[in-house]
A and B are shown apart, each in its own frame.
Chain A
């Protein structure tokens, strides 16, 4: 039984290890630094958004609109390029993401609309604005060389965005486990009333969590648009399922109050490793979906049925 409990606690690490092992044995050319770098780069978009989603889920909220925010931020960054230059435009894109997050926070905190419904509504609104701004056409950027520069691989593994992803997740880990603000987040997520009684402002915490998630979706969107030198209103339409799957596989509970940054890193890498390995073997996309869905369900069922005993958020800091 203790072995099983241990397996469940470190399930993300176990599954990631198994995936990498099986893939290395069966897929030729898989165990190489190039593949690792490729896998990291393609997981960076999902990963950066997943960082924001981890924080929101811990605070007992959810954001379905991240895919639309992603598109909107990218469009802002590309469309403003001829007007104010590339870097100010990129900053404006990130700010657009933050504004979108603030709007979600406003609906959720001030108007007390349930987060699920509020972000469902803003998902439609932001996507419509994206179509509106672009006339439903992809918009090209001004400097095509920039996208090449952004895709350059440094130290044989990291591109700019994958380095940003890994760096941010380490920062998030530190923030969640070592700072007062991080601990307050867990308090608000597990019991908002008790948190308020202890002198934490749950409304402000939740609002800032929404802004944080919007900003990161904005960063991911701007990076995607700069890398592809295109702003498109259809970007990110299917992101939400993968992002939630990655975060939940990583052990963050959708009911709030529990989660970890390293778990999310594990979840993102697991899904990236799985899809990369299956693509190497040309497994059809729909079979890949079945595998990802099965792993998601399997992990949450294990989580519910085998209880590794009470865990504080400090213990949840390890992957699992």
Chain B
């Protein structure tokens, strides 16, 4: 992950973020890599089990589920869509449907249907935000509430259990010692990275987030691009939820609570601007790696849970305040 800043340099040209001073430049570009390195060194010195393959596999597994959401959420922030707060609902949709539909249509179609429906929820939010012009916070809160209610009503408001142990075994299986979930996450991240940095769609996404009016004038289909970001997040959260459901072999309606904030935390700590127009998937994932490693070190050191939450909250505030200070960009307004 130390090559993140280099990828940033190759990515979209962001001349406007240069502040002139070489020290500020270094801090702004390499700050996260330095921070990750610092956590790695501190963790290795402080705990004998930190720098072991087993621990890293644990960290990777725990970040895979939220990591898939992070990839989608990056698109939402970059396109200037603030945040997708319907993620808990779409995760629950993926988890509940992938288990509940198993006896009816078989495990693989159930998996696909769960993701497709979560994508459809994303499409609903996307249409409201991109085409009707509703504020993303309100739209995703509303759609999320409705979707969660409908999914619960569909299964009668109870916890759903898996009926097919083979699928659980498949999700928990390992290839070369790496859990299947981690491989899926990596595949999603690679696809997301190339889609955002190398494809027309990605360039349109960055252009729309950077300057909506200019992008529209340059014949970028801004409405579709904006809606598309929420479809992508819906699909990602659906996939994440389906994998979570298969891993746990049970799904309750509130299974996705908190994932939206974890994903936003990772993306923001990674330095993706919430004002839109700037950011990349590797950056967001570097943010996720930092947060996960820090949490891991705190757990290994026996830090109490409330203190961990406190540290994490402070971290978001400091990371963003520092980012604003280093870039000398005016922010503050919603």
Contact A129 B306 (CB under 8 A): yes
CA distance A253 to B334 in the complex (A): 12
Selecting from B55-63, B136-144, B199-207, the interface stretch reads B136-144
Contact B138 A122 (CB under 8 A): no
> Which chain A residues numbered 260 to 308 have a C-beta less than 8 Å away from chain B?
284-290, 292-294, 296-297, 300-301, 304-305
Contacts of B310 in A (CB 8 A): 124-125, 128-129, 132
> Which chain B residues numbered 132 to 164 have a C-beta less than 8 Å away from chain A?
132-135, 137-139, 141-146, 148-150, 152-153, 157
CA distance A296 to B316 in the complex (A): 30
Contacts of B268 in A (CB 8 A): 117
Contacts of A284 in B (CB 8 A): 152-153, 157
Partner of A116, one of B83, B132, B314: B83
Contacts of B143 in A (CB 8 A): 293, 297
Closest 6 CB pairs of A and B: A124-B313, A293-B145, A128-B309, A290-B149, A125-B313, A286-B152
Partner of B334, one of A114, A244, A286, A288: A114
Is B253's CB within 8 Å of the partner chain A? yes
CA distance A131 to B307 in the complex (A): 9
Contacts of B139 in A (CB 8 A): 297, 300
Is B300's CB within 8 Å of the partner chain A? no
Which residue of B has the minimal Cβ distance to A109?
A: B332
Contact B309 A61 (CB under 8 A): no
Contact A293 B274 (CB under 8 A): no
Contact B153 A304 (CB under 8 A): no
Contact A304 B306 (CB under 8 A): no
Contact A114 B309 (CB under 8 A): no
Contact A114 B317 (CB under 8 A): no
Contact A244 B320 (CB under 8 A): no
Partner of B316, one of A115, A121, A254: A121
> Which chain B residues numbered 285 to 334 have a C-beta less than 8 Å away from chain A?
304-310, 312-317, 320-321, 324-325, 330-334
CA distance A284 to B274 in the complex (A): 37
Of the A-B pairs whose beta carbons lie under 8 Å apart in the complex, a sample of 22, sorted by A's number, is: A61-B333, A112-B321, A113-B331, A114-B332, A117-B268, A121-B317, A125-B310, A127-B309, A253-B135, A255-B135, A256-B334, A286-B148, A287-B149, A289-B145, A289-B146, A290-B145, A293-B146, A293-B149, A294-B142, A296-B138, A301-B128, A305-B132
Contact A286 B306 (CB under 8 A): no
Closest Cβ–Cβ distance, residue B183 to chain A (whole Å): 31
CA distance A118 to B317 in the complex (A): 6
Size of B's binding interface in residues, CB under 8 A: 51
Contact A290 B146 (CB under 8 A): yes
Which residue of B has the minimal Cβ distance to A256?
A: B334
CA distance A113 to B313 in the complex (A): 13
CA distance A62 to B136 in the complex (A): 13
CA distance A290 to B333 in the complex (A): 31
Is B215's CB within 8 Å of the partner chain A? no
Is B224's CB within 8 Å of the partner chain A? no
- A228-247: contact bitstring with B at CB < 8 Å (1 yes, 0 no)? 00000000000001001100
Partner of B137, one of A244, A289, A305: A244
Contacts of A245 in B (CB 8 A): 141-142, 145
Contact A290 B316 (CB under 8 A): no
Closest Cβ–Cβ distance, residue B143 to chain A (whole Å): 7
Is B82's CB within 8 Å of the partner chain A? yes
Size of A's binding interface in residues, CB under 8 A: 52
Contact A297 B331 (CB under 8 A): no
Contacts of B264 in A (CB 8 A): 117, 120
CA distance A241 to B308 in the complex (A): 25
CA distance A132 to B134 in the complex (A): 38
Contact B306 A62 (CB under 8 A): no
CA distance A128 to B142 in the complex (A): 27
Is A219's CB within 8 Å of the partner chain B? no
Is A60's CB within 8 Å of the partner chain B? yes
Contacts A111-B321, A111-B324, A286-B149; is A124 near B142 (CB within 8 Å)?
A: no
Is A40's CB within 8 Å of the partner chain B? no
Known A114-B332, A300-B142; 8 more pairs at CB < 8 Å: A113-B321, A117-B264, A128-B313, A206-B332, A284-B152, A287-B149, A297-B139, A304-B134
Contacts of B149 in A (CB 8 A): 286-290, 293
Is B194's CB within 8 Å of the partner chain A? no
Is A100's CB within 8 Å of the partner chain B? no
Contact A304 B316 (CB under 8 A): no
Contacts of A127 in B (CB 8 A): 309
CA distance A61 to B145 in the complex (A): 22
Contact B153 A113 (CB under 8 A): no
Contacts of B171 in A (CB 8 A): none
Partner of B320, one of A118, A287, A289, A294: A118
